[in-house]
Each structure stands twice: as structure tokens, then as C-alpha cells.
Amino acid sequence: MRVGFIGVGNIGRPIAGQLLKAGHALTVHDVRREAARSLLDGGATWVDSPAAVAGACEVVATCLPGPREMEAVCLGPGGILEGVKPGALYIDHTTTSPLLARRVHGVLAAKQVDMLDAPVSGGMEGAETRDLLVMAGGDRAVFDRARPVLDTIAKRVLYTGGIGTGSIAKIMHNCASFTLDLVMAECWTVGVKAGIDPATIVDVFNQAALGHQMSLKVRLPATYLRGNFEPRFSLALARKDLGLAVELARATDTPMRLSLLCEQELVEAMARGWANRDSSIFLTLQEERAGVQVRLPDQ
């Protein structure tokens, strides 16, 4: 298959390398030709613009720094739109705005070009070993068409729904990841300042429930995500434990901004009379404000 790849940086280059390794005829472009050197040495063909990539290939993929670059490569002068042919497939691996993905999808659809927004998770190391998760949004038939290409670059490929949902999945996951990192940093700094060895507190996190993603894999699917708030670990106990952590933070003069916000939520939930319900019930306060529920279907 004639595949074009635009954006061969730290993640794009090894993804494109997987396509080359699988035997696809690969055409590449980047703002820096030297970034593509290993691909060119491996048999890829260089062209001087995204339009030239699109004109030469039946499948065009991008992996770019962000929305601004993706928009320019797709819709700007010398961009994909200028060269792409009806019947082509465009796959965007950029972590981008779902609103932009939907706009580009509409423009390309007018030219009878299919599109998926398909960001990846796993980083440079995962791209090099194919240990990636692809989150692909678009028409189901387009996803099925693209599946052989996606399977070439990633061990795990997940269909997320309509166009833009791949980007929604990726940016919400990353938002949660960075926020959780900050919460852990809050807890670790309090712990170390209060007298525990850094290696020990990190080891505790790795070996206790958090390290095994207990909440995401076990507790929340059984409670909050099912709307079942029979107590497994009561709100009253959660409020007590978080209160002890915040108390220690104050005693050690260590800020815990996110933890204080969480404490306020627990206090509000307690005021609703939910002390003896499962602790996850406090998450429904966010649902009330958002006007939406997050529930998994019964299995």
C-alpha cells in the first residue's frame, strides 16, 4: 500500500518505521528533512510538501506537535487538501482539538476523503516497540478500512466512536494522568517532610491499591460507574482519612491544593447525608454540575 507520513519526530518517526518494516511503500515529509534520515535510509521516499505526500498516496497519516500544525498541514498552503485525491484515507495521530478534527473531517468529506482522528498513547518507547494504544474516532466503516494500517503500528487499537472521539479520549486521559501526578506529588512531599523516606513512600504507592489501579479496575466499576453506592469504603471513612492527610500537611507547612479541593467535595457530600454510603458517591456532585452521568452498562 502507498502510505504517506507527515511529521517524523520522536513519535512519528518510529510509527512510520513500523509501516516501512511491514512492507508499505512509504512517502514522508517533515519540516526538517534530517528527521527522516533513518526512514530514507530504510527505503522511504522524500517529498517537499504535505500536498505532494497526499498526491502520491492512498493513505496519508500525520503525527504533529498540536492543533496549529495539524491545521496548517491539512488546510494551509501546500497542505494535504491541495493534493489529496477522492477515495483517499487520512489518519491523524496528532493529539489535537476534537473541534478541529471535526472541522477538517467536514472539509475532507466534501472531497470524498475519509478521515480518522487516531491519537496514540505509549510515547516514543511504545512507538519503537509497537506497544501503543490507538484511540480511533470516525465512521465505523472508515475504521474498518484503516484497521490493517493501525494494527501495523500498534498492539492495541480501540474504536472510540464518531469523529473527534479519539481526541476526546486522549486529552481526557492525559488530563487525568497529569492531575493524578500532581496529587501524588502533593502526598509525597507531605510524607517526606513529615519524616518518611522517599523510596519508601513511593514503594508503598506501587505496592498498595493505587499501584494496581484498584479504583479504576475494581472499586469504581463496582460502585460509582454502576450507580451502586452500598458501602464498600464509606464516605465517612474517606473524609476521616483525607482530613488526616490535610492535617499533616498543615502541621508540616506543605501545600496540598488539589487535596484541599477534594476535601471540600467530601465535606459537601457529607452534608447531603451520605456519610454511610460508599465514598465514591461524592463523585456524583461533579455529575450534578456537569448535567451528565457516567455509568457502565450491566454486564
Residues belonging to the chain: 299
> Residues 169, 175, 176, CA angle at the centre, nearest 5°?
90
Q: What's the CA gap between 55 and 51, in Å, rounded?
A: 6
> Is the CB of residue 250 less than 8 Å from the CB of residue 186?
no
Q: What's the CA gap between 139 and 163, in Å, rounded?
A: 7
For residue 206, give every residue at least 6 positions away whose Cβ sits within 8 Å of its Cβ, in sequence order, or none: none
**Strand-pair partners of 89:** 59, 114
Q: What's the CA gap between 297 and 219, in Å, rounded?
A: 16
273: region left, alpha or beta (phi > 0 left; psi from -120 to 50 alpha): left
Q: What's the CA gap between 43 and 28, in Å, rounded?
A: 11
Count Cα atoms within 13 angstroms, Cβ side, for 3.
26
Which of 212, 276, 213, 201 has its CA nearest to residue 245?
201
Which of 239, 228, 227, 231 has its CA nearest to residue 269?
239
Helix (H) or strand (E) holding 157: strand 156-161
The residue type of 154 is A
How far CA 193 is from CA of 190, 202, 283, in Å, comes to: 5, 14, 30
Catalytically active residues, by annotation? 170
Report the Cα 160 to chain-centroid distance in Å: 12
